[in-house]
Amino acid sequence: MSAVSQDTAVRTGRVARTFIYLVLLLFALFYLLPLYVMGINSLKPLPEITGGNMMALPRTWTLEAWKSAWSTAQIGVSPTGLKPYFLNSILMVVPAVAISTIVGAVNGYVLTKWRFRYDTIIFGLMLFSCFIPFQIVLIPMALVLGKLGLAGSVPGLILVHVVYGIGFTTLYYRNYYATFPTELVKAAQIDGAGFFRIFWRILLPVSGPITVVSVIWQFTNIWNDFLFGVSFGGTSQPMTAALNNLVQSSTGVKEYNVHFAGAILAALPTLFVYIVAGRYFVRGLMAGSVKG
């Protein structure tokens, strides 16, 4: 190939890359536009929103809407703000994610390295649970929580999300562990290692990528859940249910700046998780996609 042809190919490649980047930038700006609108309007006094341009920057910058959404906004019948519900979500999400991830890891380990009769049927049933709509399990779950005395409590919500999430975490770990050499497990058994020792010393140390996937998936689903929180939360409702109540409790003039601030507060944890660990999410999914 001549030097002229090479130079032309290089220029064409640069033009193509520039065009792709511009298109991606355009889509990114379009996708982030709602977040921009919520952000700038949460920093405005209410008259600037109702009597001005919602796309314009604030003439008067203020954090009063954020303070009101966090601690003084009226939710239901009392001015409690989102703070106690944020704590409810934290108390619900952390144990539910941890328990469902650990159980899913053990299930994946058993279903790949300790094969037994009907193990594929059991895995199929657990996989089927991933496709059951939330609405179908509301009445049976309400009956179970009532029998256990957990209705309207944070432990009850933890149980709901653990049960619903085990199918997903088992699927992730099962596919991931299926790519791990079974010979290493058999060698450890010959050396006298038991069930939990093999899991703790051999499989768990290499489970970082799929653990990130499981944690991000479970955290996002549980934190953003609304239906279970409203149905089973009672006096211990999570952040999403409280945000809905905050919007519905406004009477007269809608406090859009407070609503925007509350929506951002509710979304901050999931945004933080994806910003910090989002790049590992796809890596973890691809790590278990070769075989299984």
Estimate to the nearest angstrom the gap between the alpha carbon of 183 and the chain centroid: 35
Q: When comparing pLDDT for 92 and 250, which is higher?
A: 92
* 166, 248: one domain: yes
Residue 10 in any domain: the answer is yes
Residue 75 in any domain: the answer is no
* 137, 23: one domain: no
Rounded distance between C-alpha atoms, residue 165 and residue 173, angstroms: 13
* 248, 118: one domain: yes
* 108, 246: one domain: yes
* 139, 255: one domain: yes
Residue 20 in any domain: the answer is yes
Residue 49 in any domain: the answer is yes
**Domain boundary residue among 68, 102, 125?**
68
Q: Transcribe 216-262 into DSSP letters.
A: HHHHHHHHH--HHHHHH-GGG--HHHHHHHHHHH--SS--HHHHHHH
Could you read off the pLDDT of 13-56 as tens digits, one per residue?
788 888 999 999 999 999 889 889 999 999 999 888 887 788 88
Q: What share of the chain has pLDDT > 70, as a percent? A: 90
Rounded distance between C-alpha atoms, residue 211 and residue 142, angstroms: 30
- Residues in CB range of 72: below 8 A, 6 or more apart: 79, 81
* 15, 44: one domain: yes
- Per the rule left: phi > 0, alpha: psi between -120 and 50, beta: everything else, 51 is alpha
- Per-residue pLDDT for 200 more than 60? yes
- How many angstroms separate the Cα of 80 from the Cα of each of 46, 64, 207? 20, 15, 42
* 60, 205: one domain: no
Residue 166 in any domain: the answer is yes
* 21, 159: one domain: no
* 126, 154: one domain: yes
**Domain boundary residue among 68, 99, 123?**
68
Range of the domain at 182: 83-287
Q: What is the pTM of this model?
A: 0.84
Residue 78 in any domain: the answer is no
**What pLDDT, on a 0 to 100 scale, did the predictor assign at position 251?**
62
**Domain boundary residue among 44, 68, 92?**
68
Residue 272 in any domain: the answer is yes
- Residues in CB range of 218: below 8 A, 6 or more apart: 96, 97, 100, 101, 161, 165, 168, 169
**Residue 168's domain is classified under what CATH number?**
1.10.3720.10
Q: What share of the chain has pLDDT > 90, as a percent? A: 32
Cβ burial 217-235 (10 Å sphere, 16+ → b, else e): bbbbbbbbbbebbebbbee
**What's the number of domains the chain is made of?**
2
* 19, 109: one domain: no
Q: Are 257 and 65 in contact (CB under 8 A)?
A: yes
* 54, 175: one domain: no
Residue 210 in any domain: the answer is yes
Rounded distance between C-alpha atoms, residue 44 and residue 67, angstroms: 13
Could you read off the pLDDT of 171-186 as tens digits, one per residue?
999 988 988 888 888 8
Q: Are 120 and 189 in contact (CB under 8 A)?
A: no
* 95, 126: one domain: yes
